[in-house]
């Protein structure tokens, strides 16, 4: 198999590195704040059209190309471009329970949701994006986490990582957020084209 051109190959490596950093900071934030996900939960994956940049799907697209499974995933995503993420494997007994079948390659929002904050208004502290289950099962922990943020405590920010991702390849076709299945098809198309043309 041909290697992708240096531009996309470099971008893919840089995105993977940044996704790993996001994993580290959100894991550290979870440990520091005490916020935990419901055991076995996958409910946030059930939202249709979770957004992602095609850029941040490059490491996953690359892995699918290498495992020669990209065609099957491309077809599944293309059949439901604005729907629920094709990688979510539901528990047959309870669809809110399930798992990500591409966990190590998942994009930024999947890593940050529930463990990062949104800058709502200037001069206001960021607002923790706690999920339904965090608020329901750990209300005191979530409240304490927001109080810590209000007092100036550190928290991963969506805006910071979104900007850093965009700066890796500031091209609208790669950085515009679109539903995740659509982002996957675009990432596979871009990498497949590079593999065909080669350096």
Tell me the site size for ligand SF4, rule CB under 6 A. 21
Nearest approach, Cβ of residue 97 and ligand SF4 (Å): 9
Residues pairing with 152 in the sheet: none
Q: Using only C-alpha atoms, what is the Rg of the chain?
A: 18
In angstroms, give the least distance from the CB of 5 to ligand SF4: 26
Q: Of 108, 128, 109, nearest to 118 (Cα)?
A: 128
Q: Which is nearer to ligand SF4, 87 or 161 (CB)?
A: 87
Strand blocks (E) in the chain: 51-52, 88-91, 94-100, 117-118, 127-128, 178-179
Residue 29 binds ligand SF4 (CB under 6 A): no
Among 85, 155, 174, 178, indicate the residue that binds ligand SF4 (CB under 6 A).
85
Q: Does 45 bind ligand SF4 (CB under 6 A)?
A: yes
Distance CA 13, CA 100 (A): 22
The half-sphere exposure of 91 on its side-chain side, counting CA atoms within 13 A, is 12
Residues 188 and 176: their CA atoms lie apart, in Å, by 16
Site string for ligand SF4, 106-145 (x = CB under 6 A): x---x--xx----------------x-xx-----------
C-beta closer to ligand SF4: residue 16 or 199: 16
Q: Footprint of ligand SF4 on this chain (CB under 6 A)?
A: 37-38, 41-45, 50, 85, 87-88, 100, 102, 106, 110, 113-114, 131, 133-134, 180
């Amino acid at each position: 198999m041909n290697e992708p051109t240096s531009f996309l190959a470099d971008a893919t490596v840089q995105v993977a590195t940044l996704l790993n950093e996001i994993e580290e900071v959100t894991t550290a934030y979870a440990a520091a704040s005490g916020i935990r996900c419901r055991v076995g939960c996958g409910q946030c994956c059930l939202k249709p059209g979770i957004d992602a940049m095609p850029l941040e799907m490059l490491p996953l697209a690359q892995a699918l190309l290498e495992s020669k499974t990209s065609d099957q995933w491309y077809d599944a995503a293309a059949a439901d471009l604005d729907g629920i993420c094709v990688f979510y494997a539901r528990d047959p007994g309870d669809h809110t329970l399930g798992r990500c079948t591409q966990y190590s390659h998942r994009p930024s929002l999947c890593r940050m949701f529930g463990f990062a904050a949104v800058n709502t208004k200037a001069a206001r502290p960021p607002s923790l994006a706690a999920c339904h289950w965090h608020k329901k099962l750990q209300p005191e922990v979530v409240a304490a986490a927001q109080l810590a943020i209000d007092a100036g405590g550190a928290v991963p920010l969506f805006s910071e990582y979104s900007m850093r991702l965009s700066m890796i390849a500031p091209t609208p076709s790669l950085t515009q957020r679109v539903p995740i299945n659509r982002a996957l098809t675009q990432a596979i198309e871009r990498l497949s084209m590079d593999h065909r043309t080669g350096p």
